Amino acid sequence: MSAPGRPKREFSPGEEVAQRLEGSPSSAPGRPKRESSPGEEVAQRLEGSPSSAPGRPKRESSPGEEVAQRLEGSPSSAPGRPKRESSPGEEVAQRPEGSPSSAPSQPPELKASSAQVGEARLVVRPGGPAVPAPRADRLAFESWQEQHRERAEAALLRHLPPAQAEPARLHEAMHYAVLGGGKRVRALLVYAAGQACQASGPAAAAALDAAAAAVELVHAYSLVHDDLPCMDNDVLRRGLPTVHVKYDEATAMLAGDALQPLAFEALAGMPIAPALVVQATQVLAGAIGSRGMVGGQAIDLQSVGVALDLAQLETMHRLKTGALLRASVSLGAIAAGASSAARLALDQYAQAVGLAFQVVDDILDVTTDSQILGKTAGKDEAANKPTYVSLLGLEGARDFAESLRGQAHAALADLAEAARHARALARLADFVVLRTH
């Protein structure tokens, strides 16, 4: 709270976010402020109207509807006073400000992490120009990514049959599908979730490797089948010919079929408590079946040329893309033996990141060329598929991705003391939203 006649010190965006995570009293003297959930805060920001309007109950809206309401326009919440327009990153960082003098003490490591996360969230937006994060922080995360990608590749090689073993053509196709590059986001989420839950010891490390291999094997199988002529009929994947183009359609179908059970074989071998192995198996099976990834793909195929509303589009993408990303985080937590409270906070994070991934995919489909993207650009528009860009417009889709990133960071703050170990997850949320391919 500012003292009369004393100018208020301006804080950097990182400090503002750190203060929000630490908690501070309301700046309105004598009037207690109701704490809002992260979703309510984002909704209020997007709608541009205060939640405290007297006598007028507010209808709960889905995240997509919130963005649509913001795009349609809403009156300023402060009548007679012009409001400065802020970028999406500034709006997230400024919510709420708080007072540094009355903030409770907090471990320095968490303060530094939250401030740096806040800076990264402020200065960039999906599909647009980015101001780099501090060099040391950026290099540390890039080194972490590279180290854990290599670890995932090694785990995948251990679980794949030798390429020369009979039937050699099938095994060669499996290697081609799995080891053809890629961001390994799902494996990285497994490792980062395990790190956030303070996994330690050789058994936990082996369990994380198995889980990372499992989600990447499933992801590879899904891409092989998605690219088939009967599905998306694509000829380019990760800058290379798709499996059915490189080999043939029947071999591609069988390669995908063989990769899926291999994923469950990997989970079955995790050296952790049998009850946790069962939980991990159930999580992955639920994420990729008719109520998960495959169900989302079925909705996608049925929606070509069909006008979906935002709620229907969100349902499709939470299943088709988000479910496996969400499972990746859950598997990392299970492998680490995380508590129920930690798993709940991580699940909130994963839901936001999972949907944000698809929103950004929709953005990149219309803003990036095929050479950079590594797959055929513009296919969704050409196929008359509903996307977040087609429903919200390019700027609206970017703003929605940014709001989801804010929700992911807010969920990590709910990890409380363990949040200091979740830095990799925070940086992965930034990576998912700010990537260029």
Condensed to tens digits (0 to 9), the pLDDT of residues 57-91 reads 444 555 555 544 544 444 333 344 444 344 333 34
Map tokens 């940086």 to a residue.
Answer: 427
Extract the tokens encoding 360: 């950004």
Residue 239 has pLDDT above 90, yes or no: no
Spatial CA neighbour of 279 closest among 336, 317, 320: 336
Query: Comparing 153-167, 232-246, 416-430, which segment has the lowest mean pLDDT?
Result: 416-430
User: In percent, how much of the chain has pLDDT > 90?
Assistant: 56
Note the pLDDT tens digit of each residue in 155-173.
Answer: 999 999 999 999 999 999 9
Q: Tell me which amino acid residue 387 is.
A: T
Least confident piece of the model among 254-263, 278-287, 316-325, 408-417: 408-417
Q: Which residues contact 97 (CB under 8 A, 6 or more apart)?
A: 11, 16, 19, 20, 24, 27
pLDDT-based confidence at 136, cuts 50/70/90? Answer: confident
Q: Which amino acid is at 212?
A: A
Domain range annotation of the chain: 134-434
54 prior amide bond cis, ω within 30: no
Yes or no: say if 103 and 337 are a contact pair by the CB < 8 Å rule.
Answer: no
Q: What is the mean pLDDT of the chain?
A: 77
pTM attached to this predicted model: 0.71
Cα-Cα-Cα-Cα torsion 11, 12, 14, 15, nearest 10 degrees, comes to: -20
Task: Give the list of residues 6+ apart from residue 83 with CB closer than 8 angstroms, or none.
Answer: 76, 77
Which position has the token pair 């980062």? 192
Please check whether residue 387 is in contact with residue 380, taking contact to mean a CB–CB distance below 8 angstroms: yes
Whether 21 shows a pLDDT value over 80: the answer reads no
- State the average pLDDT over residues 30-59: 42
Phi-psi region of 3 (alpha: psi -120 to 50; beta: other; left: phi over 0): beta
- Where would I find the H helices in 28-87? 38-47, 63-72
How far is it, in rounded angstroms, from Cα 432 to Cα 185? 8
Residue 280 is which amino acid? A
**First and final C-alpha spacing in the chain:** 44
Q: What is the DSSP letter of 237?
A: E
Q: What is the pLDDT of residue 309?
A: 93
Distance CA 74, CA 24 (A): 29
**Overall average pLDDT of the 420-427 stretch:** 91
Contact between 208 and 153 (Cβ < 8 Å): no
User: What's phi and psi for 360, nearest 5 deg?
Assistant: -70, -35
pLDDT in tens, 200-215: 899 999 999 999 999 9
Q: Find residue 236's DSSP bridge partners.
A: 241
Domain 134-434 listed as CATH 3.20.20.100 = no
Q: What is the 8-class DSSP label of residue 241?
A: E
Q: Is the pLDDT of residue 299 over 70?
A: yes
In the block, tokens 């990997």 appear at: 266
Residue 184 pLDDT > 70: yes
Q: Is the model more confident about 81 or about 434?
A: 434
| Position 94 pLDDT exceeds 80 | no
